[in-house]
Amino acid sequence: MQMRLADIQQYVGGELVGDANTAVNAVNSLDLAEQGEISFAENDKYLAAAQTSQASILIVPKSFPELEGKSVLKVDKPKETFIGIMMMFDESQVKFSGIHASAVIAEKDVILGPNVAVAAQVSIQENVSIGANTSIDASTYIAHDVVIGEHCKIGPNVSILSQVTLGHNVTIHAGTVIGGDGFGYFWDGQQQKKVPQLGGVIIEDNVEIGCNVCVDRATFGMTRIRKGTKIDNLVQIAHNNDIGEHCIIVSHVGLSGSVTLGKRVTLAGQVGIADHITMGDGSTAAARTGISKDVQANQVVWGAPNRPIKQVMREMASIPKLPALLGQVKNILKRLTEVEQKLSRLDKE
């Protein structure tokens, strides 16, 4: 794909400086960009890097100093604008269309909207509805009683099991399982007995789920992931979780059953959350936090068990002082023993 600076300006706006016919065919960072590529400088801190960059076109703030001999597009928000340009050059978009001959689609109660694309070896069971412009990549399995909205992208080797509903513009990457059994057992005195998992999963609009994620169906009712939430690779979402709007859940996070996350909650890598925990709107758990008690709105927690992050940082700052403090305590105890011994001798005299 090749685009001229004038074409890019038509898409994103901004003030064009330099040769409008300058063409690029790829995007890259300032330091790695070569001729024929486009990059960006977010602010004046990157002036030196912008001056030496080999990029053919640069996206910069409107207040950015002049760059002699370079083709530039000045915009209000360079980073956001550049991300939009990156999407134009994204080569990972769907490369197939229509229904592949090897796809197996049930004959009963399957509704495919206009421009649905189904790749090789896809299996679609009965009573499934798939909205317009949705793509289903190779070797994906869609069980009975599933609803998928419009403009969704389902990657290869995905399993979407029964009683799952996806909203519009949902992206699910390779290897993910939506609607598997929740982990529920009880001890009957002799063995672990399985609790049937009879609920489903609802994933709302504009959710993106990474590779090899597991979202379990509910015991009763629904496991729910609300609109705009983004989930990284290798995350476990257990039964009856309610994940709020616009949350960020990073790799290797594990949520036990019946966890509730408010809006815009952030879970950094390797966070673990015990069952029936609630995290308030805007709260954050730093990496490797073990959450065993509720977290208040806008609170940042860390550690295991979770505590306010400032408290944990004070505790960690005190650790290097412990050897010296221990030496002081030993010295005090020694002197105290000597004083007690002297007082004891005086009493006897």
- C-alpha distances in Å from residue 76, one per residue of 5, 80, 88: 17, 9, 19
pLDDT for 18: 94
Domain interval for residue 331:
320-348
The beta-carbon contacts of 197-204 under 8 Å, at least 24 apart in sequence, are 197/239, 199/163, 199/223, 199/239, 199/240, 200/162, 200/163, 200/164, 200/165, 201/163, 201/164, 201/165, 201/225, 202/164, 202/165, 203/164, 203/165, 203/166, 203/167, 203/170, 203/178, 204/167, 204/228, 204/245
- Assess whether pLDDT exceeds 80 at residue 349: no
Residue 348: band (very low, low, confident or very high) from pLDDT cuts 50, 70, 90: confident
Quick: pLDDT tens for 32-64.
999 999 999 999 999 999 999 999 999 999 999
Residue that the structure tokens 């609920």 belong to? 199
**59/14 same-domain check:** yes
Top pLDDT among 326 and 346 is at 326
* Domain assignment of residue 7, yes or no: yes
**248/289 same-domain check:** yes
Q: Which range among 163-172, 230-239, 269-278, 316-325 shows the weakest confidence by mean pLDDT?
A: 316-325
d(CA 322, CA 318): 7
* Domain assignment of residue 215, yes or no: yes
List, in sequence order, the alpha helices (H) in 131-275.
Answer: none
**291/219 same-domain check:** yes
**263/324 same-domain check:** no
**210/286 same-domain check:** yes
Nearest 5 degrees, angle CA 55-CA 57-CA 63?
A: 110
pLDDT for 92: 72
* Domain assignment of residue 255, yes or no: yes
Q: What is the Cα 35 distance to its own chain's centre?
A: 33
- C-alpha distances in Å from residue 184, one per residue of 14, 84, 216: 56, 44, 11
**226/251 same-domain check:** yes
Tokens of 109: 């109660």
d(CA 96, CA 134): 11
The rounded percent of the chain whose pLDDT value lies above 90 is 93
* Domain assignment of residue 99, yes or no: no
Question: Of the residues 69, 88, 107, which one is the last residue of a structural domain?
Answer: 88
CATH number, position 246: 2.160.10.10
Strands 200-203 and 222-225, bridge-based pairing? parallel
List, in sequence order, the alpha helices (H) in the chain.
Answer: 5-12, 47-52, 78-88, 309-318, 322-348
* Domain assignment of residue 106, yes or no: no
pLDDT for 174: 98
d(CA 123, CA 128): 11
- Assess whether pLDDT exceeds 80 at residue 91: no
Residues 6+ apart with CB under 8 A from 135: 94, 96, 116, 117, 118, 119, 152, 153, 154
Quick: pLDDT tens for 171-225.
999 999 999 999 999 999 999 999 999 999 999 999 999 999 999 999 999 999 9
The rounded percent of the chain whose pLDDT value lies above 70 is 100
pLDDT for 96: 86
Instruction: Please give the tally of structural domains in the chain.
Output: 3
**223/332 same-domain check:** no
**277/344 same-domain check:** no
**248/334 same-domain check:** no
Residue numbers annotated as active site: 239
**330/297 same-domain check:** no
Strands 214-216 and 290-291, bridge-based pairing? unpaired
What's the mean pLDDT when you consider all of the chain?
96
- Assess whether pLDDT exceeds 90 at residue 278: yes
Handedness of CA 12, 18, 22, 26 (dihedral sign): negative
* Domain assignment of residue 178, yes or no: yes
Tokens of 40: 């960006």
Comparing C-alpha atoms, which of 148, 151, 183, 150 is closest to residue 163?
Answer: 148
Residue 163 identity: Q
